[in-house]
Amino acid sequence: MHIEHGTDLAPLNTFGVPARADTLVRLRSPGEAHDLLRRPALMAGPLLILGGGSNLLFTADWPGLVLLPQIFDREILETQGEVVTVAGGAGENWDAFVRWTLGLGLGGLENLALIPGTLGAAPIQNIGAYGVELRDHLLWVEAIDLREQRSCRFYNADCGFAYRDSVFKREPGRLLITRVAFRLSRRPELELDYGEVRDELAAAGIASPTALQVADAVSAIRRRKLPDPTQIGNAGSFFRNPVVPAAQAARLSAEHAGMPQFAAYGGVKIPAGWLIEACGWKGHRAGDAGVHIGHALVLVNHGNATGGQIAALARQIVASVSERFGVTLEPEVRIV
């Protein structure tokens, strides 16, 4: 186990905002996490588990322990005909893991290509993109319950997955995810009907795509639409898309011409990007904190913004969307 003090967290969060960790421990194995539990002095203060820092906003220094799971391994666990079970360690880069599965000829995760972050964080908010969510292919999650001090395995049905939500998210710092397994297929059913995926493939002259070609198409769309965190600090969608009851959606639609709406998650999903753009925020800049010029749902750090400045901008956006539409935006990004 590697222990540091006063670690600079700016390179460890994709907003690139300044913050320091009082103590930071890099964990190389689940065994090291159990060793840590035998050192109560280290675990006494507030605890933050940090993956790739691509869904976090630091508004202050972290006064306690930051745990960085750097557990790396990828494994084929079982093959049953076309169905193959694979697993990987929490520290694996998500996109590299997806590409590894595709390289094995396995489909399922292709629509989730190029999402930043680690494998261990992917179940936290049940990552999703282009019509697929993690829960569609996840078999189990192995974790260490830091409160109960024991290892546990959660099968898919026990994970409480919902839109950008899971049991792991509800008590941050309690469950340290160490390993994640997926059931994938050599003959996957491809999901091509969401967003621009079909158009992207058609433009490339591909009529019957492979899973790998779908991943490449999704990656191309993402590179075009979303800012690259290595160029401009951001954490992807800052807010979740609100899902409202059908009656409220109908009222909003009658009052606001052109508002896009989609049946989803048992209600009606309204793109938060549209609501924010309609309030005039797209491209807005307050010092170095801003709203991306190309996508209103993405808050950005133009260089030297603090987390506090970005959080203040987020609060202003929530207030203006609420005032104009009566809809309360909720952050997807964890603000700490």
> Residue 68's beta-bridge partner residues?
26
**Which residues between 288 and 307 bind ligand EPU (CB under 6 A)?**
295-297
| Closest CB 298 distance from ligand FAD, rounded Å | 7
Q: What is the set of active-site residues?
A: 164, 237, 332
From the list ligand FAD, ligand EPU, none, pick the one residue 49 interacts with, judged by a Cβ distance below 5 to 8 Å according to partner type: ligand FAD
From the list ligand EPU, ligand FAD, none, pick the one residue 282 interacts with, judged by a Cβ distance below 5 to 8 Å according to partner type: ligand EPU
| Closest CB 253 distance from ligand FAD, rounded Å | 26
Is 99 near ligand EPU (CB under 6 A)? no
Structure tokens, 174: 């309690």
| Closest CB 132 distance from ligand EPU, rounded Å | 9
Is 45 near ligand EPU (CB under 6 A)? no
Is 267 near ligand EPU (CB under 6 A)? no
Is 130 near ligand EPU (CB under 6 A)? yes
| Closest CB 302 distance from ligand EPU, rounded Å | 17
**Which residues between 208 and 247 bind ligand EPU (CB under 6 A)?**
225, 236-237, 240-241
Is 282 near ligand EPU (CB under 6 A)? yes
Cβ-based nearer residue to ligand EPU, 130 or 140: 130
3-state secondary structure the chain: CEEEEEEECHHHCCCCCCCEEEEEEEECCHHHHHHHHCCHHHHCCCEEECCCCCCEECCCCEEEEEEEECCCCEEEEEEECCEEEEEEECCCEHHHHHHHHHHCCCECCHHHCCCCCECCCCCCCCCEECCEEHHHCEEEEEEEECCCCEEEEEEHHHCCCECCECHHHHCCCCEEEEEEEEEEECCCCCCCCCCCHHHHHHHCCCCCCCHHHHHHHHHHHHHHHCCCCCCCEEEEECECCCEECHHHHHHHHHHCCCCCCEEECCEEECCHHHHHHHCCCCCCEECCEEECCCCCCEEEECCCCCHHHHHHHHHHHHHHHHHHHCCCCCECCEEC
From the list ligand FAD, ligand EPU, none, pick the one residue 241 interacts with, judged by a Cβ distance below 5 to 8 Å according to partner type: ligand EPU
| Closest CB 64 distance from ligand EPU, rounded Å | 27
From the list ligand FAD, ligand EPU, none, pick the one residue 297 interacts with, judged by a Cβ distance below 5 to 8 Å according to partner type: ligand EPU
Is 183 near ligand EPU (CB under 6 A)? no
Binding site for ligand EPU (CB under 6 A): 129-130, 195, 225, 236-237, 240-241, 260, 271, 273-274, 277, 282, 295-297, 332
